[in-house]
Amino acid sequence: MASLITEFVGNNEVIRNSALELYPTEGKSKKDVTREYMKLYSDLFVNNAIHAFAENMTRAGHTVYLYNFEYHPPSFGALGWAFPFIGW
């Protein structure tokens, strides 16, 4: 994980360590490590690209609306079916 993150952020130790904290793999099962890699790839190739696109469109003079949706965990109970996502 560290070498992959270094490839994208360079040798900036502060940024690299912050990124490693976001995607911890040490002491995790193979399944959990796979999930962390999927989260990392999702952020690198989807979220960052969308954010860059929104910034480019704003610079070009367009009005841009960027939304973030999160899945509600089961702890939301009965209301979870009515509001399966949080948007902000």
Number of structural domains (the chain) is 1
In a domain, 67, yes or no: no
In a domain, 70, yes or no: no
Specify the 3-state DSSP secondary structure of 70. Answer: strand
In a domain, 11, yes or no: yes
In a domain, 78, yes or no: no
pLDDT of res. 88: 55
pLDDT of res. 22: 81
In a domain, 81, yes or no: no
Structural domain of residue 35, as residue ranges?
Answer: 2-62
64 neighbors 54 (Cβ within 8 angstroms): yes
Angstrom CA distances, 53 to 49, 76, 87, stand at 6, 33, 20
In a domain, 75, yes or no: no
C-alpha to C-alpha distance for 18 and 14, rounded to whole angstroms:
6
Specify the 3-state DSSP secondary structure of 64. Answer: coil
In a domain, 31, yes or no: yes
pLDDT of res. 71: 64
In a domain, 69, yes or no: no
* pTM recorded for the entire structure: 0.52
Mean pLDDT per segment of 10 residues, for the chain of length 88 residues? 71 81 85 88 83 94 86 65 59
